[in-house]
Structures are given as C-alpha cells and as structure tokens.
Amino acid sequence: MRSVDFSPLYRSTVGFDRLFSMLDQIGQPDGGQTYPPYNIERTGEDAYRVTMAVAGFGENEISIEAHRNVLTVKGEKSEESANEGSELLYRGIASRAFERRFQLADHVEVTGATLKNGLLHVDLKRNIPEEMKPRKIAIATAAKPSKQIEAKAAA
C-alpha cells in the first residue's frame, strides 16, 4: 500500500487545506460501493447533472440533501405488502437501501431533481459570486513631477 505524506504542503500553502484532505481521501477505498450506478455529465458551461439508476424506488422513498459541499442521496424502500396468493421466485430488481455521497466544488448548488423512468436526475449549477470572478485591473501610469530649476538671469 502506498501512502503520501502531504504535511510539508500543509505548511507551505494557505487556503488549500481542503484540497489536500481530498487528495488523502482519494487513496482510501470507499468499500467498493457500486449501487446504485450513476453518471455525471456537464450540461452547460456552469451546469452539471448527476443521473442515478434507482429502478423500483418512488419519489417518497428517496431523499436528497446538500450540506457543506456534500450532496447525499438516500433511498429506503418501504415494505411492500405481499400480494395474496403470489410468491416472489426471483428478485432481480434491487430494493436494498442505499446512500451515495458526492463531493461538490465550492459555489455549486442543487437546482432541482426529477425522477423519470427509474432514473433520478439531480441538476447542479455553479454560481460564482461577482467578487470571486476574475476582473481586469487597469494599470495607471504614474506621471513624475518634473523638477524645474530656476536660475537667475545673468546681469
């Protein structure tokens, strides 16, 4: 197992603590979590969409929460009432509870979510505040005051 020590970088940078913490977390496996499968796509310059395959789950069985740059999607299947006289012989559609967490970048907000045809679409938008956007700084030329030496006229 390979590990990297980021301690020297913590000492020589200011404001990048979260970046190095995220790099530390990359090396740690998440337990092989693969359910439910998902896609992340860019739908515009500052717009993104997370699509999750949640077949068999209804709107009231899924909860979405965004808190401190973490998007959490939880699904918990309610107990189905067994049909009288029927017996389930094979379960191919997973109905287990799940929880998926996505690390969001700064200034990314959840704008909405839709559930259609077994796919949960969570729309995200990056809203960078005006004071954080790059701006052009004008360079002013400094006019040097010219020194004049007054001389008396020769008589």
Q: How confident is the model at residue 151 (pLDDT cuts 50, 70, 90)?
A: low
Among 42-46, 84-88, 107-111, 116-120, the range scoring the smallest mean pLDDT is 84-88
- How far is it between the farthest Cα atoms of the chain? 131
Provide φ and ψ at 67, rounded to 5°. -150, 120
Q: Is the pLDDT of residue 154 over 80?
A: no
Compute the average pLDDT of residues 142-155.
68
State how beta strands 47-53 and 62-67 pair.
unpaired
Q: C-alpha distances in angstroms, 89 versus 15, 54, 92, 128, 150? A: 56, 22, 10, 53, 109
CB 37 within 8 A of CB 54: no
In sequence order, what DSSP letters do the residues of the chain get, joined into one string?
Answer: ------HHHHHH-SS-HHHHHHHHHHTS-------S-EEEEE-SSSEEEEEEE-TT--GGGEEEEEETTEEEEEE-PPPPPPPTT-------S----EEEEEEPPTTEEEEEEEEETTEEEEEEEE---GGGS----PPPPPPPPPP----PPP-
**Residue pLDDT, tens place only, 1-34:** 456 666 666 655 555 656 666 666 665 555 556 7
Of residues 74 and 140, the one with the higher pLDDT is 74
Q: Is the pLDDT of residue 112 over 80?
A: yes
Q: Is the pLDDT of residue 40 over 80?
A: yes
Q: How confident is the model at residue 119 (pLDDT cuts 50, 70, 90)?
A: very high
The domains located in the chain, with CATH, are 1-31 (no CATH), 33-78+91-129 (2.60.40.790)
Q: How far apart are CA 103 and CA 105, in angstroms?
A: 7
Q: Is the pLDDT of residue 52 over 60?
A: yes
**Residue pLDDT, tens place only, 55-106:** 888 888 999 999 888 899 999 987 665 456 678 788 777 778 889 898 888 8
Q: Is the pLDDT of residue 44 over 70?
A: yes
